[in-house]
Structure 1
Amino acid sequence: MQHWTELRTALMLARHGTVSAAAEALGVHRATVNRHVDTLEGAFQTKLFQRHARGYTLTESGQEMLEVAARADEMFADLAGRNRGRSGRLSGKLVVTALTGTAPLIMPALRAFHDEHPEIELEFAATADLARLEHGEAHVAFRAGPKPETQDYVVKLFRTLRFGLYASRDYVRRRGRPDLGNLEGHSFVGTKDDASRMPFARWMRDTLGAGTMLIKVTDPLVLSTAVKDGIGIGFLSEHHAAPDPELIEILPPSDDWSAPIWVVTHVDLHRTEKVQRFLEKL
């Protein structure tokens, strides 16, 4: 493939952001990185990167280049992996991204995949940011909310998370069990912002009056910790709350407070051997 070496150099520069970091990742001199970028920009007759004091960022043309180069790089790696896989071993890297709160649901699959394919370098990115699969930022993404409609994404329902309202036993001992008809004097943990995508935010807005106190928390892990530590009452997913004997159910999990979790891959990487082996574990 013409200019494949230069394309891979540009891909590393886009991923790492600086010439020195890209050169280190590739094991070449910085001058080689600069020369390869100049060659590509000459061949495409357009600027692929914007140079600035803190490094390099992609232009619009560069973004299009990155999409193609990232997928090609993955497919070459998959081809090599399939050849190694004929001897029973896969290799390379698998990046999975998901919300922090869904990690306990995904970890069994990651463990099973790692046990079976220990040569695969695993990375689990727990973040609310949406990985751009078309840019090679992740191989598999778990996303909550409406079904992703991005072109070239392969989307399947992973499971539906239901939420219930919980308080710790310590909170109930100190503050009393909440009476849903009169919540005055009770503390809640969570958010009722209009912009919140949490399925229980509307209930919080409609129910919590002036006599209740709200400790605003948006991170699911922090919310869970705050409820378990007795700071206030809050909504937790049933898979987090059910195993904890120190939590008291105030309102049971409901379909009204639920969110679908989707497993998403890019069509070009969906059929790669390592992605398929991981999806089998879910």
Structure 2
Amino acid sequence: MHMPGVLMHWDDLRIFLTVAREGSISGAARRLNVQHSTVSRRLLVLEKSLGTRLLNRKKSGYELTSAGEELKHSATRMEMEIFDFEGTMGNQDCLLAGELHVSAINNMASTVLMPMFASFSIKNPHIQLHIEVSNKYVSLAERQADIAIRLTNDPVDTLIGARLTTIASTVYGGSAYLQQLRGSGESPRWLGVECCGFHHDWTHKACPDHSYSFFVDDTLLTVAALEQGLGLAYLPCFMGDSNAALERFCDPDPLLDLGLWLLYHPDLRHARRVVAFREHMLSQIEAQFALFEGRLPRMDMKAPAQGPG
């Protein structure tokens, strides 16, 4: 987008780009950690300097005008050039600084990954690390996050990154419930799990009549329900094995293994913050492979059954 005689500041373009991606001024203000009024004011200044409207207000948020669409493409190219410049500075003794947005799965971000995030933040105090939990798709191309940590065996082929480790899973229950179940010979009671597609599908296969009386939509809720003796459910081994109130109902099935990936857009491959975070996570997770792969011994574990069926 070429506007002769128009001087545009990168801070204003960055604000506009964030509004375009978030779809609202309030969403952009939250992401940028500034006041709503600041975003509105800077947008008005930008539109006035360009002499054209960039956004139209709709009931569902904001929609880009044709000029806004053109400016978004230009601003995105500028943003990528800044990241490329960061990459060329990689061999120089310069300070790691700036924002880094990481989207991670809630049950991992709030438990086993948090010490890793904390140590990265302590080691790099000038990086503003934003941890955003989501089990859903985020568009890295639209910069809804810089990095996504995801469980998948089929990462999106337009992204790059690193497979951090393998996550093993199996069926868990509360210790008292499993003791009662083994003694009675009754059919197991299953939790209706709707936290993710993996657990939902595995549970439906293990409990074909779908006779659930209690439902949960978050893995941390699953743990709490299992602790109350409400039935059986699938959990990643790093959660189930580290909880003294739970026991394995059966051995992990290798067919349920999932890859834990750290993914980012190819345009960020030279960004120093991204590279530093990737190397940090690879190093931290390598030290805990046994935990993630379900190979940590548990002295209190009873002999598991052969399968959930």
TM-score after normalising by structure 2: 0.70
| Residue correspondence of structure 1 range 203-282 to structure 2 within 5 A | 203-208=202-207, 213-282=212-281
Distance change (3 Å), C-alpha of 1:123 and 1:29 = closer
| Residue correspondence of structure 1 range 1-282 to structure 2 within 5 A | 4-5=8-9, 7-14=13-20, 15=22, 17-18=24-25, 30=40, 32-37=42-47, 42=52, 48-52=54-58, 55-58=61-64, 62=68, 65-66=71-72, 69-70=75-76, 72-73=78-79, 76=82, 79=85, 89-103=95-109, 104-151=111-158, 153-173=159-179, 175-177=180-182, 183-184=186-187, 186-191=188-193, 197-198=197-198, 200-208=199-207, 213-282=212-281
Contact 1:71–1:136 (8 Å) recurs in 2: no
Q: CA RMSD in A?
A: 3.9
Per-residue CA shift, 1:47-69, capped at 9, x if unaligned? 75332357523468756754653
**1-structure distance, mates of 2:186, 2:211:** 6
Unaligned residue ranges in structure 1 (runs of 5+):
none
Contact 1:82–1:273 (8 Å) recurs in 2: no
Percent identity over the alignment is: 22
Per-residue CA shift, 1:178-220, capped at 9, x if unaligned? 88xx653x42224389xx621x544533442659544222322
SS in 1 for 2:149: strand
Contact 1:163–1:238 (8 Å) recurs in 2: yes
Distance change (3 Å), C-alpha of 1:277 and 1:203 = closer
Per-residue CA shift, 1:153-187, capped at 9, x if unaligned? 213322221111111123235x43388xx653x42
TM-fit CA distance, 1:35: 4.3
Greater share of strand: 1
Unaligned residue ranges in structure 2 (runs of 5+):
282-309
Contact 2:204–2:210 (8 Å) recurs in 1: no
**1-structure distance, mates of 2:100, 2:255:** 35
Contact 1:75–1:269 (8 Å) recurs in 2: no
**2-structure distance, mates of 1:121, 1:166:** 37
**2-structure distance, mates of 1:254, 1:85:** 44
Letter in 1 for 2:137: L
**1-structure distance, mates of 2:61, 2:122:** 39
Contact 2:172–2:249 (8 Å) recurs in 1: yes
TM-score after normalising by structure 1: 0.76
Contact 1:190–1:223 (8 Å) recurs in 2: no
Letter in 2 for 1:280: E
